[in-house]
Amino acid sequence: MSTIENGFIWRSRSAFVIVAAGATLSLNDLLTFPVLAGQNGGGAFLLLYILFLFVLGLPLLMTEMMLGRLTRTDPAASLGTLSEQYKASVYWKLAGLSSMLAAFLIVATFSVIAGWSLAYSVKSMVGLFHGVTLESAKSLFDGFIIDGERMTLWHTLFIIGLVLICAQPIRQGIERITLILVPLMILLLVSGLMLGFMSSGLIPSIHYTLYADFSAMDSNTPILALQRAFYTLALGIGVMMAYGRYLPAGVSIGYSAALVIMVDLLFSIFTGLSINALMLSAGQQPGIDSQFAFRVMPVIMDQFSYGGLFSTLFFVLLTIAALTTSIALLEAPITYLQRIRSITRLRATLILGVGIWLFGLGVVLAHSVWNGEGFSLALFFGDDAIRLVNNAGFHDVLVFVSSHLIQPFVALFICLFVAWKIPREVSHKEFALVRHYSFEIWNYLVRYIVPVLLLVVILAAFGII
Q: Which of 175-179, 192-196, 231-235, 441-445 has the lowest mean pLDDT?
A: 192-196
So what's the pLDDT on residue 2? 44
| Domain contains 94 | yes
pLDDT at 19: 95
Q: Which of 204, 374, 176 is nearest to 277 (CA)?
A: 204
Residue 395, pLDDT score: 83
For residue 405, tell me if it sits in a domain. no
- Residues 80-106 have a mean pLDDT of 95
Nearest to 145 by CA among 112, 189, 178: 112
Residue 402 lies in a domain: no
What is residue 332's predicted lDDT score, i.e. its pLDDT?
96
Query: How far is 206 from 224, CA to CA, in rounded Å?
Result: 21
pLDDT, average across residues 46-62: 96
CA-closest candidate to residue 322, choices 348, 290, 346, 361:
290
Percent of the chain with pLDDT over 90: 61
On whether the CB atoms of residues 410 and 236 are closer than 8 A, the answer is: yes
Mean pLDDT lowest among 107-111, 192-196, 329-333: 192-196
On whether residue 163 sits in a domain, the answer given is yes
Percent of all residues in the chain with a pLDDT value above 70, rounded to a whole number: 92
Residue 283 lies in a domain: yes
Give yes or no for a contact between 105 and 362, defined as CB atoms under 8 angstroms apart: no
What are 443-464's pLDDT values in tens digits? Answer: 999 999 999 999 999 999 888 8
Task: Supply the pTM of this predicted model.
Answer: 0.91
Confidence of residue 117 (pLDDT cuts 50, 70, 90): very high
Look at residue 28 and tell me whether its pLDDT is greater than 90. Answer: no
Q: What is the pLDDT of residues 343-374, one digit of tens each?
A: 999 999 999 999 999 999 999 988 877 665 55
Least confident of 66-80, 95-109, 303-317: 303-317
The distance of Cα 297 from the centroid of its chain, to the nearest Å, equals: 22
- Report residue 375: phi and psi, to 5°: -120, 155
How many domains would you assign to the chain? 1
Q: Is 465 part of any domain?
A: no
In a domain, 394, yes or no: no
Residue 327 sits in which domain range? Answer: 5-373
User: What's the average model confidence in pLDDT over 155-167?
Assistant: 97
pLDDT reported for residue 331? 96
109 falls within a domain: yes
> Residues 193-208: pLDDT tens digits?
888 878 888 888 888 8
* CATH number of the domain bearing residue 251: 1.10.4160.10
Of the candidate ranges 3-12, 19-28, 271-280, 439-448, the one whose mean pLDDT is the lowest: 3-12
Residues 6+ apart with CB under 8 A from 132: 140, 298, 299, 302
Under the banding of pLDDT at 50, 70 and 90, the label for residue 386 is low
